[in-house]
Amino acid sequence: MTEDVLDQAEAWRREGRKVALATVVTTWGSSPRPVGSQLAVDGEGKFLGSVSGGCIEGAVIKEALAAIGDGKPRLLDFGVTNEQAWEVGLACGGKVQVFVEKLG
Amino acid sequence: MDSAILAALQEARRAKRPVALATNLRSGAQKLIFKDGTEGPLCLDVDMIIGMQDMLARDESGTLQTGAGPVFVQVHNPPPRLIVVGAVHIADPLARMGVMAGYGVTLIDPRRAFATSQRFEEYAVSTDWPDDAMAELKPDTRSAIVTLTHDPKIDDPALDAALKSPAFYIGALGSRKTHAARLARLKELGHDDATLARIRGPVGLDIGALSPAEIAVSIVAQIVQARRKP
């Protein structure tokens, strides 16, 4: 079943939780989730949805928490050419760009 | 995303009004793009907005380069639709797999004894006759239609309406012999050969499917192919 990440993120906001939204904006090669895939993160690091099928979620959540903190949007690059991406585990051979923004 | 944009975006999504969210990836500034207007603070020139409205129509998200940096356009269209005619044994796995694949599914069967069964929970069920139901549903370019009954009284009016619509996929269950007889009847209703060629029959990809679930897989696979790799 397709879970609606944006609906969930909005519901979290209504409960007064701080929320950041991460969205896959560009993909190259065999990245596991298509453009538009989303991950919502709350102030405690609870998350829903996915931007990579598990490979880079940890790093994205860290940046999402930082965006909740300073309110600034971020554009993140992950890929085989990026050593940090190897460390966080995008071994699937693809490259993705993820936009992270604070919600509301 | 500021609260005003979020509220307007969610309102459009709930009303099943097609909308795209344009985000400047440098500044985070945003604008909602509708078929007939825009809303929000991100500055975009008119050509750029027209290009985004075109992406909305094509159901295609992506990034455009602008003078002020890259702008990501995320299309939020209502789900594509799958209309299944005939509450036969294949209907339930087909409708459920359609739901899993992201389709808004409606099952049509005027035979109430079939259509009111408790099995059908995840999708809409209509007990109208197919011609009335199709007139109500108004299939569009993002609709797929599959007939399953083998009963000309039920399948034929549905296929007649389907062929008059711009549906991207029309499939009819039945053997080659059944299908040839069906095409002859539809021809009498005034459909020419080119139009009739839109009907996939026998329906589904040829994967040797036997069980109802396997046949549903072959049909859903063919629908995905028609939409993603036309």
The model's confidence at residue A80, banded by pLDDT at 50, 70 and 90, is: low
pLDDT, tens digit, 9 for 90 and up, residues B11-62: 999 988 899 999 999 999 999 999 999 999 999 999 999 999 999 988 899 9
- Beta-carbon pairs below 8 A across chains A and B: 43
Report the pLDDT value the prediction gives residue B114, as an integer from 0 to 100.
Answer: 64
Place of tokens 């035979």: B111
pLDDT, tens digit, 9 for 90 and up, residues B128-154: 999 999 999 999 889 999 999 999 999
Nearest to B25 among A25, A35, A36 (CB): A25
Give percent of chain A with pLDDT exceeding 70: 81
pLDDT, tens digit, 9 for 90 and up, residues A51-63: 887 778 899 999 9
Nearest to B102 among A2, A26, A101 (CB): A2
pLDDT, tens digit, 9 for 90 and up, residues B58-95: 889 999 999 999 999 999 998 899 999 999 999 999 99
Is this model's pTM higher than 0.90 or not? no
User: What is the mean predicted confidence (pLDDT) over B115-138?
Assistant: 82
Residues of A with CB under 8 A from a CB of B: 1-2, 6-7, 10, 13, 21, 23, 25-26, 35-36, 72-73, 75, 99, 101-104
User: What is the overall mean pLDDT for chain B?
Assistant: 93
CB atoms within 10 A of CB A98: 26
Instruction: Residue B29: list chain A partners with CB under 8 A.
Output: none
Q: What is the DSSP letter of A53?
A: T
Nearest CA in chain A to B103: A2
Report the pLDDT value the prediction gives residue A87, as an integer from 0 to 100.
Answer: 54
User: What is the mean predicted confidence (pLDDT) over B197-211?
Assistant: 95
Nearest to B63 among A6, A26, A72 (CB): A26
Q: C-alpha angle B142/B153/B194, rounded to 5°? A: 50
Instruction: Residue B10: list chain A partners with CB under 8 A.
Output: 6-7, 10
B25 and A13 within 8 Å at the Cβ level: the answer is: no
The number of residues making up chain A comes to 104
C-alpha of B100 from chain center: 13
Residue B116 tokens read as 């009111």
The model's confidence at residue A2, banded by pLDDT at 50, 70 and 90, is: very low
A-facing residues of B in 59-78 (CB < 8 A) are 61-63, 72, 74-75
Report the pLDDT value the prediction gives residue B115, as an integer from 0 to 100.
Answer: 56
Query: Does residue A38 carry a pLDDT above 90?
Result: yes
